[in-house]
A and B are shown apart, each in its own frame.
Chain A
Amino acid sequence: MQNISMGQAVAQALSEEMRRDPSVFMAGEGIGVGIHDSPLMPTYGLLQEFGPGRVKDTPVSEAVIAGLAVGASVLGLRPVVEVMFFPFFTLASDQIVNHAAKLRYLSGGKSAFPMVVRIKAGAGFGAGCQHSHNLEAWAAHCPGLKVVMPGTAADAKGLLKSAIRDDNPVIFIEDMGLYFFPTPVPEEDYTIPIGVADVKKPGRDVTVVTWSKMLGTAFKAVGPLAKDGIDIEIVDLRTLLPLDKETILNSVRKTGRLVVLHEATRTGGFGGEIAALAAEEAFEALKAPVKRVTAPDIPVPFSPPLEKFYLPDEAQLIQAIKDIVKA
């Protein structure tokens, strides 16, 4: 076991897959020679190892970066392209939403698009709302895509390997807040299946469904709640699409209470989907209303106290959980 950050885990997955399979190549803005040059960043050192033929620094052209992946993948390459910050997904979105997601269906199953779009996400960097805006619910609203959003470095490594080996377009969302903190990651070659949620902590009283960076926030609530005799179960979704309904429902049926925690804004957020799932399929098990702990419906503000206000924290989670345990 090694202690590495998620950025390093991503780099490890990328380099191992590129060594394993010559059809894997990467493209993106500043992925080879970048302005964020640090050994903790996810593409650090890859240009040196694989050269400019396989690690393609592109012009600032998100639409064609995504189109490059669509076209190269239909001819059998396995492109891994990067969208530097999640809001720039909008610039790449025609190729992702109208093409990557739909062209297999439109071909009647004849064509495949084994491509990965890595997206750097998450607020908390003082970058403001045009660099920070978690849009995973948009991506998850596109049948034909798979949407993966790991919450630990170890999951990121195994899930990214699965994404690269998957024959479908995978949107792989990395929260940059996880790039800089070392956690244990297995050294060997391993994969984690896409579409399988993970019960990161079993518990008795309340199910907390979360993903990405908010997994850490959920864990911060464990101790304080335990002092009040509340034992939470933490379900790390890991994949939003296809959704692992069974793991969620099994947990909700066990605890009878559900709180969904995500960094993205509330209205139209993916938390609503989880709440609806519980209401439709586990209503009889619910002992209390479902709660969502999310960012408010505002753009990510810049000023440090404002941005801190934006991000959901463990205090809000604890309060939401106490509210429904009382109820």
Chain B
Amino acid sequence: MTSQKKYELYRGMLLIRRFEEKLTELCAGGKVPGMVILCTGQEAVAAGVCGALEKEDVIISNHRSHGHLLAKGADPNLIMAEIYGKSTGYNKGKSGTLHIAAPEVNALCTTTVVGGGIPIVVGTAFAQQYNKSGSVSVCFFGNGAADEGSFHESLNMAALWNLPAIFICENNVYSGAQRMEDHTKVKDIATRAIGYDMPGVVVDGNDAVAVYNATVEARERCLAGEGPTLIECKTYRWRGHGESDHQVYQPKDEIACWMERCPVEKLQKELLDEGFITRQEVLELENEINKAVEESVRFAEDSPWPAPEDALEDIYA
């Protein structure tokens, strides 16, 4: 990977990190209505995967979506406004943080039914194959979703039809409050790919470069007509399931240990070591990202609420 590409991934991760940290602050201050679920600590998966995609490629996300959306190029202002429930948000306040669709960047659907997006990606990948569009579909889901029947049905059909689909299992150790060993016997979700005769790859989900490389390879397979790939990215969520989760089940030393393996710092260090950026440039970039995040908050807070009767719109096309 070129240093320039690595820098882009770093920059993307930094935006996600600051965006999520800001939301933690806003939630603590009671500024944001409703449930908020963050991907702090998992930035390398979003950045690495989306960094390997083209604009035409489709992503389907889940409840922990902000990183995926930002990495796919969605506008932070419109995401933040949607999280606030404002009329200027991506979906006019109808989706909130949990279901953001940004068709402008082919982030077509965010579904919070665990495992609900996996069958949909079979459909988008089918359409891409049917239309010979030369693009692929990616579904992000967690280790918990891999226990849903939809996961198994979808992998089977996608493999059977050689669909251009990439299944990204973002294994952050927990499924709600359950540790991996309490919800499945397997050590690696990726081994389940064997059951569907597709490649199953395990990568360090805190290494954006490794995630990127695995995605590039999977995408090439898709476009060569060789079918789908399951990529399991081993990572960790620093925050709870949502911001109201007190994380009683997550050992403090475990969190600390994973924070030592910060994906953002890892890439920053590599770029500094390679001499591609200087400390000063890091500070400047952080400053720029902070400003962008603050601007998204200002945009959201200054935006109008939807009119109550707007609830009646957008049901039917």
Which of A's residues lie within 8 Å of B, judged by CB?
25, 53, 56, 58-59, 61, 63-64, 66-77, 79, 94-95, 98-99, 103-114, 143-144, 146, 167-168, 242
Known interface pairs A77-B130, A99-B116; 16 further A-B residue pairs with C-beta atoms within 8 A, sorted by A's residue number: A58-B157, A61-B153, A67-B154, A68-B126, A71-B120, A71-B121, A71-B126, A75-B58, A75-B128, A107-B91, A108-B90, A108-B101, A108-B314, A110-B91, A111-B109, A143-B315
Residues of chain B contacted by A63 (CB below 8 angstroms): 119, 149-150, 153-154
Decide: B119 and A71 in contact? CB cutoff 8 A.
Answer: yes
A residues near B313, Cβ cutoff 8 Å? 109
Please tell me if B206 contacts chain A, counting CB pairs below 8 Å: no
Docked CA distance A107–B160 (Å): 31
**Is B95 in contact with chain A by the CB < 8 A criterion?**
yes
Residues of A contacting B99 with CB < 8 Å?
106
Cβ-neighbour of B316 out of A66, A111, A168 (below 8 A): A168
- CA separation between A68 and B92, bound complex, in Å? 27
Q: Which of B259-317 contact A (CB under 8 A)?
A: 313-317
Q: Are B127 and A111 in contact (CB under 8 A)?
A: no
B137 at interface, CB cutoff 8 A: yes
Q: Which residues in A have their C-beta under 8 angstroms from that of B124?
A: 71-72, 74-75
B11 close to chain A: CB less than 8 A: no
Residues from chain A with Cβ under 8 Å of B109 in the complex: 74, 99, 103, 106-107, 111
CB distance from A50 to the nearest CB of B (A): 12
> Once bound together, how far apart are the Cα atoms of A103 and B40, in whole Å?
26
Q: Does B118 contact A (CB under 8 A)?
A: yes
User: Is there contact, CB below 8 Å, between A70 and B123?
Assistant: yes
Please determine whether A103 and B101 come into contact, CB atoms closer than 8 angstroms.
yes
Question: What's the least CB distance linking A99 to chain B, in Å?
Answer: 6
Query: What is the bound-complex CA distance between A110 and B74, given in angstroms?
Result: 15
Q: Is B176's beta carbon under 8 Å from chain A? A: no
B34 at the A interface (CB under 8 A) = no
Report B-chain residues with C-beta under 8 Å of the C-beta of A105: 94, 314-315
With A72-B126, A74-B109, A108-B91 known as contacts, the answer to whether A94 contacts B120 (CB < 8 A) is no
- A72-B124, A74-B108, A110-B101 as given contacts; A67 in contact with B315, CB under 8 Å: no
Return chain A residues, CB-CB under 8 Å to B108.
Answer: 71, 74-75, 111
- Could you tell me if B92 and A111 are in contact, using CB atoms closer than 8 angstroms? no
Interchain CB contact under 8 A, B123 and A69: yes
User: Cβ of B157 and Cβ of A61 under 8 Å apart?
Assistant: yes
Cβ-defined partner of A94 (8 Å) among B113, B125, B131: B113
Residues of A contacting B235 in the complex (Cβ-Cβ under 8 angstroms)? none
- Cα A67 to Cα B137 in complex, Å, equals 14
